[in-house]
Structure 1
Amino acid sequence: MKKQAVNPYLPLDEYVPDGEPRVFDNRLYIFGSHDRSHGNRFCMNDYVGWSAPCDNLADWRYEGVIYRKTDDPNNPEKDAMYAPDVVKGPDGRYYMFYGHGSRKPPEQWCINVAVCSTPAGRYQYYGRIELSPWSESYFPFDPAVLVDEDGRVWLYYGFGSGDWRKGNKGRGGAVVELAPDMLTVLSEPGATLPNKYTNTDETLQGHAFFEASSIRKINGKYYFIYSSQLSHELCYATADAPDGPFRYRGVLISNGDYGLNGNTVFRNWWGNNHGSLVEIEGTWYIFYHRHTQQSAFSRQGCAEKITMSEKGDFVQAECTSCGLNQGPLLAKGKYSAVIAANLYNGADTSESICCRRAKGTYFDEETAQGVRTHMIKRFGSSAHAVYKYFLFEGETGIQIRIKGKAKGVFTVIVAGDKTDIPIDIQGKEWESITGVIRFQGESAMEFLYSGTGTFAIRDFGFTEREAHS
């Protein structure tokens, strides 16, 4: 069976959030921060590169480390490097824009630039963009860059809470023009969108700028992508010029599926979000990240197809398990349990399902003898794991590996039909439970449990059932 694309789209032991998707020479490159499994702060690792051919978005290639913290001469403390963006400059070289300074006073935070002759080679430090005269109004954070068709270069950045440690709440997002050298600032900052403290625009109520600037030019319009004051959602605004004025247009995706089709319950652990749009072979995708390990510091990249209307409006995308795949996943072979599109507890509210909480079911990773195992942990009564979507070809066997201490009924729901599997487990070893799914067609698949105790779910596999005469 041909390899399929799932979410998260990179190998499960990789944690690359804040993904900026860029296409160079018919390959899709992802540039993002680099978290660590069970990390205790943001972006603990060096930048790495990943890419895939545009005609096979399941075939990701590791490009290696492309930039280390120590490559920046102004970073002897090895501070975290955040959310890079990469563009091809007027001279044909590739420029990486990034921010760092988490352990420094906010006035010392900055946006720096590295350069390379290839998209995912070893970048070399190039210089610092001088934004300090305006840093109290526009915090130098989360850079995004556009090289326009006329050769002019624009830098977008900002942070919705400004210098919170000094009580200065700032103004929100900013844009400046850069010289063709990709470093020299040519203009004073103009506003992209206000933060929640300065917003007076009724259309922005609840969706004011927070962070995660990104920029795209689509059919002559400028699309500014950003994370709103709600943090879990990526929104967009458009303008007729690169420096605005920008007008709010809507939500692209929420990593909790909040707001999707009117939904007012979080269907995932929610937390900050960062990503952007890319068109590949006529299809639009939105890249974003999810949260794992009861933490904000071990985030994984995901991507979804997103619909754009003839008028240039995007419809909020749904979190799925099949993401970059060309259609639903086949109900054949084995899948990791952690590709669940939604993982939540039935009684969860917007407060209780925050990614930093310490209760309920969650994605995790364990390492034993050098082998990493990924799983859903603490699955109990009221927990939901939803996989979207699978293509079933008729009566299909399912085998699920679990471990823990629990006694009750494990339920698999496909197209409204339930398969109940009694369980009674008491050990630390993985055990298999089996059932039969009777459905033909495309459907979500949901796992539920009713009973006592909790357990982990490692993976599940499908087997064809023999036809009976």
Structure 2
Amino acid sequence: MLNSLKLKASVPVLAVSVALLGACQSNTSKQETTTTADASAPADTAAKKPLSQPLVRDIYTADPSAHVFAGKIYIYPSHDIEAGIPENDKGDHFAMRDYHILSMDSINGKVTDHGVGLDIKDIPWAGRQLWAPDAAFKNGTYYLYFPVKDKQDVFRIGVATSKSPSGPFKAEPTPIAGSYSIDPAVFTDTDGKAYMYFGGLWGGQLQRWQKGTYDAKAPEKEPNTAVPAIGPRVAKLTADMKHFDGPVKEIKILDENGKPLLASDNNRRFFEGGWLHKYNGKYYFSYSTGDTHLLVYATGTSPYGPFTYQGVIMKPVQGWTTHHSIIPIKDKWYIFYHDTQLSGKTWLRNIKVTELKRRADGSIETITP
């Protein structure tokens, strides 16, 4: 993220056409492969021409965390598999077990699959469900942050390190102390301070942490009433990027009147998949609304918030989940996201990318997939 942020400071915003990207061929070893899609790839199931095409066709990928490291685009996605587990609101059917790391030299270049960067069997404390990761760089080391259920079936967040952005990554022996829930996203500010944003409702277990400790008896879902919505979490990271530097804080997301969004406001309240980026000195916190399938955003003047709701970034895609990242690449901004164009199944997704456009006042134009 540090490299990405250095690029952000001088990025002008241009209105250009969407760039489509090449596909890649799966490789479960560390050996790299670079290729485009072939006739044996799964048939597209979308009823109409999609906004953009899948970046990868030979494996299923989701939750793309994109960064520019050493002048190249690296993508850290989830790796979806067919686990044969029935669908439920806890997300047990999302039973991923490893991460493939992808890269490309340019936004319309071919994709290289660097193979498995981290496997669940190499995480000493892990139980099951290796969900959406993120990555960061500092002082010559690359960091991969990942949520996975521990052996007590509670989501924690771990960190793994590598001297290469393509891995392989070696996991720390224990999760980050004080971490919980899912969807870590690490933002390094222009002053060098780094923050982790995390949290997800329902299967992400955030609703079970409202008393400061994990409550196994708490409801499976958050209250859907006129009470303040459960907010995402933020924690400052230590200089070594492996620990929390201070307490975990709940982020407030406010409406246009400065009041907290309500739990019943399903079109605007936070559900999962938080991401922070900075543009013209302002902090943009974007996230998924979950069961209403929107990507939305709020803005603020501090990395801790509060953030005021601004609008919709992307309307619902094909599939249930919505998860994204937003980065500048050269003179444009892009949003990486996923849908289910290749499989038509909500747990077998494919990552995509399209241009993110802004108005003169910095507000984000809504994308209709």
TM-score by length of 2: 0.72
Q: Structure 1 residues 174, 191: CA separation in 2 closer, same or farther (over 3 Å shift)?
A: same
Q: CA deviation at 1:203?
A: 12
Alignment gaps of 5+ in structure 1? 133-138, 257-268, 320-469
One-letter code aligned to 1:101: K
Name the CA distance, whole Å, in 1 between partners of 2:263 and 2:169.
Answer: 41
C-alpha separation in 2, matches of 1:39 and 1:231: 26
- Given that residues 304 and 317 in structure 1 are in contact (C-alpha distance below 8 angstroms), is that contact kept between their aligned partners in structure 2? no
User: How much has 1:194 moved relative to structure 2?
Assistant: 5.7
The residue type equivalent to 1:311 in the other structure is D
User: Quick one: structure 1 residues 22 and 4, their matched pair in 2 at CA, closer, same or farther if it must change by over 3 Å?
Assistant: closer
- State percent identity of aligned pairs: 29
Name 1:143's counterpart in structure 2: 184
- 3-state SS of the aligned residue for 2:63? coil
Once the two structures are superposed, the pairs formed by residues 370-449 of structure 1 within 5 Å of their partners are none
Compute the displacement of 1:95 (Å).
Answer: 0.7
**Match for residue 50 of structure 1?**
102
Q: 2:323 aligned with 1:290, yes or no?
A: no
Mark the CA change 1:231 to 1:36 in structure 2 (over 3 Å): closer, same or farther.
farther
2-side partners of 1:39 and 1:250: how far apart? 37
Question: 1:4: how far off?
Answer: 6.0
1:232 aligns with 2:293: yes
Report the Cα distance in structure 1 between the residues aligned to 2:250 and 2:187, rounded to whole angstroms: 16
Amino acid corresponding to residue 93 of structure 1 in structure 2: T
2:143 matched to 1:95? yes
Q: 1:154 to 1:204 in 2, by over 3 A?
A: farther
Pick closer, same or farther for the CA change 1:277–1:243 going to 2, 3 Å: same
Q: CA deviation at 1:210?
A: 0.3
Unaligned runs of 5+ in 2: 1-18, 23-51, 86-92, 209-214, 223-228
Distance 1:85 1:306 in 2: 20
Shift of 1:27: 1.1
Indicate whether 1:112 and 2:133 are aligned.
Answer: no
Separation (CA, whole Å) in 2 of partners of 1:207 and 1:70? 37
Residue 129 (structure 1) aligned with residue 129 (structure 2): no
1:13 counterpart = 2:58: yes
1:66 corresponds in structure 2 to 117
Partner of 2:363 in structure 1? Answer: 313
Aligned residue pairs total: 290
Q: How far, CA to CA, are the matches of 2:270 and 2:184 in structure 1?
A: 14
Q: Counterpart of 1:188?
A: 247
Please state whether the residue corresponding to 1:309 is helix, strand or coil. coil
- Would the alpha carbon gap of residues 160 and 220 (structure 1) be closer, same or farther in structure 2, given more than 3 Å must change? same
Change (3 A) 1:255 1:8: farther
- Does the 8 Å CA contact 2:261/2:268 hold for their aligned counterparts? no
Task: Deviation per CA, 1:356-399: give whole Å up to 9, x if none.
Answer: xxxxxxxxxxxxxxxxxxxxxxxxxxxxxxxxxxxxxxxxxxxx
Asked if the contact 2:136/2:142 (under 8 Å) is kept, the reply is yes
- CA-CA distance at 1:231 after TM superposition: 4.6
Structure 2 residue aligned with 1:245: 306
Counterpart residue type for residue 26 of structure 1: G
Cα offset for 1:193? Answer: 4.2
Q: Tell me how large the CA RMSD over aligned residues is.
A: 2.7
2-side partners of 1:25 and 1:147: how far apart? 16
Aligned mates of 1:125, 1:69 — CA distance in 2: 10
Tell whether the 8 Å contact from 2:252 to 2:260 is kept in structure 1 after alignment. Answer: no
* DSSP 3-state at the match of 1:16: strand
Q: Larger radius of gyration, structure 1 or 2?
A: 1
Q: Which has the higher contact order (CA 8 A, sep 6+)?
A: 2
* CA distance in structure 1 between the partners assigned to 2:191 and 2:365 by the alignment: 30
Distance 1:160 1:4 in 2: 33
- The structure that is strand-richer by fraction is 1
Q: Tell me which amino acid in the other structure corresponds to 1:70.
A: K
Indicate the SS of the match to 2:132: strand
Offset of 1:43 from its aligned partner? 4.3
TM-superposed deviation, 1:241: 1.0
Shift of 1:200: 3.9
| Letter of the structure 1 residue corresponding to residue 328 of structure 2 | E
Map 1:276-355 onto structure 2 (within 5 A). 276-291=325-340, 293-319=343-369
Contact 1:80 / 1:102 at 8 angstroms: preserved in 2?
no
Q: Give the TM-score, by structure 1 length.
A: 0.57
Secondary structure, counterpart of 2:362 in structure 1? coil
User: 1:222 corresponds to which residue?
Assistant: 283
